[in-house]
Amino acid sequence: MIKIVAVGKIKEKFSKAQIEEFEKRLRPFTRLEMIEVADEIAPQTNSDAQNEQVKEKEGERLLSKIKDNEYVILLDLWGEMISSEKFAEKLEKLQTYQSSNITFVIAGSLGPGKNIYQRANYRWKLSDLTFTHQMTRILVLEQIYRAFMILNHNPYHK
């Protein structure tokens, strides 16, 4: 099973439609669960200490949705960037040898708190570019779908 746990709600219809399309495409390969947790208000006038509190609170909400037996992949600006082929290999090895329950975590706009970093088994960087949280969810779903296509020798990847 693959689970995506993210801070904030998807509001835009076009983003929801893209997410639903990838959910549908993934059904033959895996069970998918999407969980959203509430975000904290974080004005730009917040101090560093206040921002850390926001990240920890959001982290607690995220952690409450993660079980002990899940392998956690944190989307992180300082994580490892890998190719789609390497990502597919990683998913296959994880599901075969480590855990059939893989959870992707997308933290809030301030990034992950220390509590999420401590729980993460792997930190994955999608790109050097910055994306909205809505776009990040779509990109993660697309890469998961692409990985299954690669593993099944499907021409989608070309």
Domain carrying residue 151: 2-157
* Residues whose CB is less than 8 angstroms from the CB of residue 77 and which lie 6 or more positions away in sequence, other chains included: 111, 125
| Tally of domains within the chain | 1
- Output the known binding site: 75, 107, 126-131
Give me the residue label for tokens 């296959």.
92
CATH number, domain at 22? 3.40.1280.10
- Output the known binding site for S-adenosyl-L-methionine: 75, 107, 126-131
Type of residue numbered 35: I
In terms of Cα–Cα distance, which of 71, 33, 37 is closest to 55? 37
**Distance (Å, rounded) from C-alpha 86 to C-alpha 144?**
12
pLDDT by residue, tens only, the chain of 158 residues: 999 999 999 999 999 999 999 999 999 999 999 999 999 988 888 899 999 999 999 999 999 999 999 999 999 999 999 999 999 999 999 998 888 899 999 999 999 999 999 999 999 999 999 899 899 999 999 999 999 999 999 987 66
R_g of the chain, CA atoms, integer Å? 16
